[in-house]
Structure 1
């Protein structure tokens, strides 16, 4: 009864159309959920996400759950997660993605999940890493450990729109460090992030992880741009 009263006073709102959610709905109303641009790239070999890294860095597998479109539902989801503190969006997407991945033989070989880290200043300002809940839910589904204290970001990023990707890649790669890397020796790590665009940050993180002996890296993100 108390829960019903809370729902009446503070109704849960759809992150897509802002309609009031029904009792059995989470994050999105049913119409918005059915309109989501789901990629199903985890079912494809040499999918568009994997192709982003071809010739750049050795990645075992790569996929994204959704397609990111400007002013679309996915943009609203990620915005509300990052800037409005709606961490349940990360948990919801992670549970969904994890359920899909655990059915795929290639992802059953994963032995650990690691998030793309935030610099400590940004983490303090935002209060959370937006991929934390996403990664934790995937780790739970795959029944592997989640480590957020091994791959760290030591310097804050600066916008470098003028420089080309290959010119700036080296400086990006140097912003990341490894703590206790021996934990990941001979592991198959799943690196998770919210959005892949050029892939530069994920490439830099992967390059740092590949310094660990015997390691393999796969990549999963919430969304990918067209």
Structure 2
């Protein structure tokens, strides 16, 4: 279990209120994004890495809810996400979802929804290709690995025209880029992005 005091020690990026932050710049010239940002810096062997590991591999969904609430509070305070009406968690492939027992991005989304009041739709995006781990791949190799990995169901979006994509950590941005492209190919919508963690800009 992660104590409340530990969360206060996490390194905050300060990105969410600001346009043109390093997370947004990952998508420049690749896919149109209305707003993007991350709450904390994520580095190897850091406290946040241990917290995310607990969420993903130690069967502890309450950690994800807590992270989601913290992220949700910052999203609510930022005027840049005020037009969002629905949250879309990045999906897991069904095989990985069965192995893990839950989608950590959906748990984080639930924490955000508690704070912001946005609807969650987890049947819009589907991961149809089981890809190998992305951990040690660069952006180009990740995008090759993710080609055609996601599909989007425009009918499941209903009336929503500004979605918020949620994931736990962003490194190169390849996974979120692939999701955004699938969404924008399926429907005329605006896409914003938020994650709990991001790797520091180089």
TM-score with structure 1 length normalisation? Answer: 0.81
Once the two structures are TM-superposed, the CA of residue 55 in structure 1 deviates from its matched residue by: 1.3
Alignment partner of 1:73 is 2:50: no
Please give the root-mean-square deviation of Cα atoms over the aligned residues, in Å: 2.1
Once the two structures are TM-superposed, the CA of residue 182 in structure 1 deviates from its matched residue by: 5.5
Q: 1:114 aligns with which of 83, 88, 95?
A: 88
Q: Which has the larger radius of gyration?
A: 1
Alignment partner of 1:60 is 2:14: no
1:194 alignment partner, SS class: strand
CA offsets per residue over residues 11-48 of structure 1, 9 Å max, x none? xx4xxxxxxxxxxxxx3252x33321011211222111
Aligned to 1:142: 116
Alignment partner of 1:126 is 2:100: yes
CA offsets per residue over residues 163-193 of structure 1, 9 Å max, x none? 8644652551301112354625661000000
Alignment partner of 1:218 is 2:192: yes
Aligned to 1:28: 3
Aligned to 1:49: 23
Contact persistence 1:185–1:212 (CA under 8 A): no
Alignment partner of 1:208 is 2:178: no
1:39 alignment partner, SS class: coil
Structure 1 residues 218 and 160 mapped into 2: Cα distance closer, same or farther (>3 Å)?
closer
1:58 alignment partner, SS class: coil
Once the two structures are TM-superposed, the CA of residue 158 in structure 1 deviates from its matched residue by: 2.2
d(CA) in 1 for partners of 2:124 and 2:32? Answer: 20
Structure 2's unaligned 5+ residue stretches are: none
Structure 1's unaligned 5+ residue stretches are: 1-12, 14-26
Aligned residues: 200
Once the two structures are TM-superposed, the CA of residue 79 in structure 1 deviates from its matched residue by: 0.3
d(CA) in 2 for partners of 1:181 and 1:159? Answer: 30
1:42 alignment partner, SS class: coil
Contact persistence 1:49–1:64 (CA under 8 A): yes
1:114 alignment partner, SS class: strand
Once the two structures are TM-superposed, the CA of residue 132 in structure 1 deviates from its matched residue by: 1.2
Which protein has greater RCO, CA pairs closer than 8 Å, 6+ apart? 2
Alignment of 1:74-93 (within 5 A): 74-93=48-67
Contact persistence 1:131–1:192 (CA under 8 A): yes
